[in-house]
Amino acid sequence: MLVALVGFLLAAPALASAQASNVSSCAGYSLGSLSETKTGLTAQLTLIGNPCNVFSDDITNLTIQVTYETTTRLHVNIFDTDDEQYTIPESVISRPSPPTASFRNESDLVFNYDPSPFAFWITRRSQPNGAPIFDTRVTSLPMAPIGPVIANDNTTALNGFPLIFEKQYLQISSALPLDANIYGLGEVIASSGFRRDIGAGGGSIQTMWARDVADPIDENIYGSHPIYLEHRFDESTQESQSHGVFLMSAAGGDILLLTPQKSNVSLVEYRMIGGVLDFYFFSGPNPKSVIEQYGDLIGLPTWQPAWGFGFQLCRWGYHDINDTRQQVTSMREANIPLEVMWNDIDLYHAVRDFTSDPVTFPAEAMREFTKELASNHQKYIPIVDAAIPKQVNTSDIYHPYTRGVEQDVFITNPDGSEYIGQVWPGYTVFPDWFQNNTQQWWTEALRNWTEGGIEFSGIWLDMNEASSFCDGSCGTGANLTNTSVPFLLPGDPGNPITDYPECYDATISGPSGNITVNGTLTCRPERATIAKRGLGAGKQAGVDLNTPPYAIHNGNGRLSLHALATNASHADGQAELDVHNLWGLMEEKATHLALQEILPGKRPFLISRSTFSSAGKWTGHWLGDNFSLWSYLRFNIAGVLQFQLFQIPFVGADTCGFNGNTDEELCNRWMQLSAFTPFYRNHNVKGAISQEPYRWDSVANASRTAIAIRYAMIPYWYTLFANSSIRGTPPVRALFFEFPNEPELFNVSTQFLVGRDILVTPVLNPNVTTVDGRGSVIWRDWYTHDVVNATHGAPTTLDAPLGHINVHIRDGSAILLHAKPAYTVEETRQGPFSLLISQSANGMAFGSAYLDDGVSSPPGPNKILTFEVTKRQVKITARGPFDVKQQLSEVTILGVGSKPSRATVNGRKVDSFSFSAQQGKLVVKTNINLNSQTTLEWN
C-alpha cells in the first residue's frame, strides 16, 4: 500500500556513493583440475596473479560445475570452493533432482570454454555456426576502456570485462547482438515497455533489491527476478529463436544492459554484491517454451480457484463495515458483478495485523457480513502487513506479538536483541521465516483471526519487501508507545489528494472527475504529457554488512533506507543483506501453507507485493501502488507480460489507478482493459475521489459489458491457468510469442493475447475513438463476428468509442464459453456452455478445455475436452472422470462457406439452427452432454 508519501522523506540520492568498477588491473581466473562426468564437468578456477580487490577481497579458489540437466536446460555454477558465499537454501527454492541420465550429446546447448584467462560461451548444437547465446570472452565484447555508456552515470564506464569474484562484488559480462531483444529482468516499470532498452548509446540498469516505493519508472521496485528471455531473428532465414538466462541468486546487484556508442555488439553485465554465479540456460527455442523450461526449474504456478477470476473491489478508506457493505449493495443495485470484497488497513484495530476495530469493524458483525457474502457466492479478503506491532505494556495485550516472543520467531539485531522497525501500527518487529517455529506461529495467528470473525477466503500480503519507516533498528531510546507514523496520511488535513490524469485540470473542471462538465470535455490533450554459498556473509569475516563497498543503484540510496537494516540477523546467522530479496517469497510460502491447513481441501488464494523467483508456486501478484494516469494504463500491459515470464501469471494492476484521483474516461478504459488481465481488482488510495465502477454511468456500462465477456470466457481462462499449473505455459502473451518471425511485433506493448486465440487492443490514450492494431492471420470481431480487413502485418485502424474495447478471435480456434454470464462466477458456472469456433480458411479449427470443481486442492477429478473441427464437422471428445453436469446449449461456427441444408448431432437431425451469410456464421442450438464423444455435422 501507500509509499509515495514516505519515499521522499527517506530517500537519498541513489548514486551518491556509487562508483565505476575499475577492473583494469584484474587478470581473472585460470581453469585446472578438470574432471569430466557423464552429466557435465567439474573444475577448479584459480586467481591469476595478484588480487585486484576492486571492492572487497578477491576469492582465490573457485569451483565450476557444468551440468546438462535436461535436453533444454544447462546449469553453470561458479562458486567459492570454501562454500562461504550465500546460496539460496533448498528449503526456500527446491531444485529438481540431479540428472541420472546423460544429456551431454542430446542437449541443444553446448558449454565451451577457454582455460586461461577463463571464459565460457554457450552455443546451440543445432546451429554450430550461429552466434553464442551467452559469451563471456573478452574478444567478443566491446574494446575497453569505455567511458560512461549512460550519460551522467559514471558507474556505466566499462574498464574491462574479466571475471571477478570477491566477497562482496561479483562481475561477469556477456556479449549480446546489437540492440538485442531482451525481455524480463525485474520487477520494473520500464519506460521502454515490455522490451528492455538496450539501445545504442544507452541502455538500462536493473537493480535487484526489493523496495517499497510507489511505482517509479526505470527503478527497482517490489520484487527481484534475475531472469531474461532473448529473442533473436535471423534476417537471412526470416526465422527466430528464443533462449533464457537465469541467475539463481538472492544477492543485491545491478544487471546492466548496455550498448556503447559505435559498438557493433551490446552486452549484459552482472554486478552482484554477494552470493555466487549460479546460471541456468534454457534453449527454448520459442518464447513459450523458454518460460515453460524456467517453470520446470523453479516450480510451476499455484492452482487458482475459479472464483479468483471474478471482479474484485477494494479501497483504502472504507472507514467501517457499513461503508464496506454499502459497496456490495451498490454494485448489485447497479448490476455490476462483484465476486470478492476486500478491506485495506481500515479494518484493523490500531492498525494491527490479525485484528478488527471493535467500533468500526466489530468481529461478530464482520462474521455476519462474510457469511452474508458467502450465501451469495461472494468472497471476502483482508490485508496482512509484514510488520507485527510491538507490545509495550502488560495492559495492552496483543497475542501475535507475545506468542511470537515465546516462540522466538522475530528477526534480531546482531547482538541478539529484538530488531525494532516502524510501520503503520508504530514500532514493530518482523517475522524471521528461517526460524523453526515461525510457520506454526503464523498459521496460529491466521487461524485465530478467522475463527474470531474475519472469515476470509484468501489473504492479501503487503509491505513485504520488508518495509520499515525508520532507518535501522530504531527501538533504543524511542517512545515505543507512540503509534503515529512520521508523515501525513493521504487525505488528512495538509495532505489532500489533488493529482488527476494527465489531461484533466481540476482547477478548471472541478473535483468530480467527470468526462464532461457543463457539456465541455474535461480532457485537454494539450495539457497532457503521456510517457510511452553456505550460510553466507553473516558468518564471513571482513564483510561490511551495513554499507557494501559497491553501491548498487537502489532508488532509495542506502540499502537500509525504507527497509530492514542489512545487518539484521536471521536464524543460523544469516544476514539481512543476503536474504532481503527472499522475505516476500518466504512469507508467501508460509501463508500458502497456513491456508492449506486452515481451509483444508481448498485452493489458497493469495495476492502479494514483493516476489522472487518461484513465488508463483504460492501466490499471485498485483502491480503495486500505481498512479491514476494514462501512462500507467499503458504500463499495465507490460507489467502483466513481465510476470508471465516470471512464472507468476496471476497478475493485474490496481484498476483505475491507486495514487491520485482518477477520472471518468480513464476509469472507463481501465475497467475494460483489466477485464482481460488475470487478476481484476479496482483499488484506490485514501482521500482520493471514489472510483467504484458504479460512480459514473459510462463506467458502469463499460464494466457490465467487459465483465460479461470475461465471465463468458472463464472456461477459457480456467483452461489457460490449468495449462500454466501443469506445464508452465503463459496464459497472457505478447504478440511475438505467437508470431515469433514478425519483427514489427517484437516491441509491441499496446496489444496482447489471452492465450493463443483472443487478441485485445485497448485504448490507451485520452480523447480518442479509434485505436491501431496489427494482425497477420484472420481475426474476427468478438461482438459482430465480422472478419477484420487487414493488410498482412500493417497497422489497422479500429473503431473504439468510449465504452468499447476491441477484442478479436483468431482463426483456427475453438473456445468453450459460458453461455449465460451471471452475477457471480459460481452462478455463471452453474449455467450452460456454448462453443465458439472460428474456422481457418481451410475449414480447420482446434481447441481444448479443462474442467473440474474449481476449488479442490490438490485438484481433484477433471474432464479434458478437445474440439477438432474439419470441413462440415465438429468432433468433441471427453477424457477424465469429472462429471460435467452443464450441457452445451449452443455451437457457433464462423467461416462456413454457404448455408447448410441440414445439421446433425451424432447422426440425429437438429431442427434449430440459423445461418448468417455475411459472417459465414452457423449457429446450432443443442443439448449436448459433454461427458461423452459427440459429432456435429452439417451439409
* From 269, 444, 462, 588, the catalytic residue: 462
Taking residue 885's Cβ as centre, other Cβ atoms within 10 Å add up to 10
Cell of 903: 445439421
CA–CA–CA angle 241, 652, 819 (5° rounding): 95
CA-CA distance, 628 to 556, in Å (whole number)? 23
CA–CA–CA angle 770, 836, 905 (5° rounding): 160
Cell of 777: 492471420
- Taking a C-beta distance cutoff of 8 angstroms, is the pair 107, 74 a contact? yes
Cα separations in angstroms, 236 against 55, 233, 461:
45, 9, 49
Cα separations in angstroms, 893 against 783, 807, 843, 906:
14, 17, 10, 17
β 732-733/752-754 pair status: antiparallel
Cα separations in angstroms, 841 against 434, 742, 810, 845, 939:
58, 21, 12, 10, 17
* From 135, 296, 465, 738, the catalytic residue: 465
Q: Which residues contact 645 (CB under 8 A, 6 or more apart)?
A: 183, 184, 227, 229, 291, 294, 730
3-state secondary structure of 743: helix
Is 114 an active-site residue?
no
* From 58, 296, 625, 852, the catalytic residue: 625
Cell of 791: 493488410
Q: What is the largest CA-CA distance in the chain?
A: 89
CA-CA distance, 224 to 184, in Å (whole number)? 11
Is 462 an active-site residue?
yes
3-state secondary structure of 761: strand
Is 465 an active-site residue?
yes
- Counting other chains too, the contacts that 391-397 makes at CB distance below 8 Å and 24 or more residues apart are 392/427, 392/480, 392/481, 393/481
State the DSSP code for 324. Answer: H
CA dihedral in degrees (580, 584, 590, 596; nearest 10)? -160
3-state secondary structure of 594: helix
Q: Which residues are catalytic?
A: 462, 465, 625
